[in-house]
Amino acid sequence: MAAKALSFDVGDYVVYPKHGVGRVIELQSQEIAGLKLELYVLRFEKERMTLRVPTNKAESVGMRKLSSSVTLDEALTTLKGKPKVKRTMWSRRAQEYEAKINSGDLVSIAEVVRDLFRADDQPEQSYSERQIFEAATSRLARELAAMEQTDEPKAQEKILDILREHAVLHAK
Provide CB contacts within 8 A for 32, sequence distance 6+.
Answer: none
Side chain identity, residue 12: D
With a cut of 80, say whether residue 3 has pLDDT above it: no
Confidence (pLDDT) at 50:
93
Which range has the top average pLDDT, 3-12, 32-41, 46-55, 135-144? 135-144
Confidence (pLDDT) at 6:
62
Confidence (pLDDT) at 170:
72
Give the torsion sign (CA, 144, 148, 150, 153): negative
Which range has the top average pLDDT, 27-36, 51-60, 128-137? 128-137
- Grouping H, G, I as helix, E, B as strand and the rest as coil, residue 167 is helix
Confidence (pLDDT) at 1:
38
Confidence (pLDDT) at 133:
96
User: Per CATH, the architecture of 69-171 is what?
Assistant: Up-down Bundle (1.20)
CA-to-CA dists, residue 59 to 31, 63, 86, angstroms: 21, 6, 32
Which range has the top average pLDDT, 44-58, 76-90, 131-145, 155-169? 131-145
- Grouping H, G, I as helix, E, B as strand and the rest as coil, residue 66 is coil
- The domains of the chain are located at 13-65, 69-171
**Rounded to the nearest 5°, which phi and psi values hold at 29?**
-120, 125
CA-to-CA dists, residue 154 to 19, 55, 66, 68, angstroms: 20, 33, 18, 20
Confidence (pLDDT) at 104:
87
Higher-scoring residue by pLDDT: 4, 17: 17
Any idea what DSSP says for residue 84? -
Give me the mean pLDDT over the 50-70 stretch: 90
Of 153, 103, 139, which is closest to residue 22 (Cα–Cα)?
A: 139
Please report, in angstroms and rounded to a whole number, the separation of the first and last CA atoms in the chain. 58
Beta bridge partners of residue 35, listed in sequence order: 32
Confidence (pLDDT) at 49:
92
Confidence (pLDDT) at 172:
63
The distance from CA 125 to its chain's CA centroid, rounded to whole angstroms, is 21
Confidence (pLDDT) at 94:
95
User: Per CATH, the architecture of 13-65 is what?
Assistant: Beta Barrel (2.40)
Q: What is the bridge-based pairing of β-strands 35-44 and 49-54?
A: antiparallel
